[in-house]
Amino acid sequence: MSVESINSVSSINTGNYQAPPVAAKKENAEEVKTSSENSGVVYEKSDSAKVDDSKKTYKPNTALVQQLKADQEAQKQNLINIVNKMMSKQTGAYATSVFGSDSDDIWKFLAKGDFTVDPETKAQAQADIAEGGYWSVEETSKRILDFATAITGGDPSKLENMRDAFLKGYKQAEETWGGKLPEISQKTYDAVLKGFDEKAKEYGLENWKPVSEQA
């Protein structure tokens, strides 16, 4: 019985109260001591657990790291392929609108002088590369930048990787074409790089350098 309980009972009915034997008091004292000791044990275990946590060593998940690297490389290659195809199709539309053919061997084809194109096809190609057309500078560059953002989920840390992918894709398109791409594609190139620079500024990437400023 606790001291508080004893006092409470005394105040209610003092006449009927009989003091507990000394042994009971001793027993209560031992219970309090035991409880105190137990509390100390629990506290000491908690301290011990904290010490053990501080001594833990953390190892990198090598498999996960490799998987993330592979995913990143796949994202980059995906954009390279997209840029290559888009630039090739843009130059194809340009070739059709001007020369009447979208062949990879356009210059050899033109040298023969035996090409023709129907008015409808040429008109459609001209509309496609005109301002606001599907293969115009504005629309093509916008799609490339949208693809880059979609592939990375808008992760700022991957922006430079995506720009590198664009440059490689554009170079592949030049190799397919057999030299420098037409003016419309060169303007698209400039528009895409400008878009990457604007994204870098938006993300606050202080170490970002435009391609024109790189050695």
Q: How does residue 199 score in pLDDT terms, banded at 50, 70 and 90?
A: very high
* CA–CA dist 185, 179 (Å, integer): 12
* 85 Cβ neighbours under 8 A, 6+ residues apart: none
Written as six digits, the tokens of 137 are: 């500078």
pLDDT at residue 104 greater than cutoff 80: no
2 pLDDT exceeds 80? no
Residue 36: pLDDT above 60?
Answer: no
Distance between CA atoms of residues 137 and 129, nearest Å:
8
Checking if the pLDDT of 3 tops 50, the result is no
Q: Is the pLDDT of residue 110 over 50?
A: no
- For residue 132, the model assigns a pLDDT of 93
pLDDT band at 214 (very low <50, low <70, confident <90, very high): confident
Q: Do 106 and 95 touch, CB atoms closer than 8 A?
A: yes
Q: Quick one: pLDDT at residue 117?
A: 66
Of the listed ranges 121-125, 157-161, 187-191, 206-210, the one predicted with least confidence:
121-125
Give the number of other Cβ atoms within 10 Å of residue 138's Cβ: 13
Neighbours of 185 (CB within 10 A): 23
Q: What value does the mean pLDDT take over residues 1-28?
A: 45
What letter represents residue 103's amino acid? Answer: S
d(CA 44, CA 46): 5
pLDDT at 133 over 80: yes
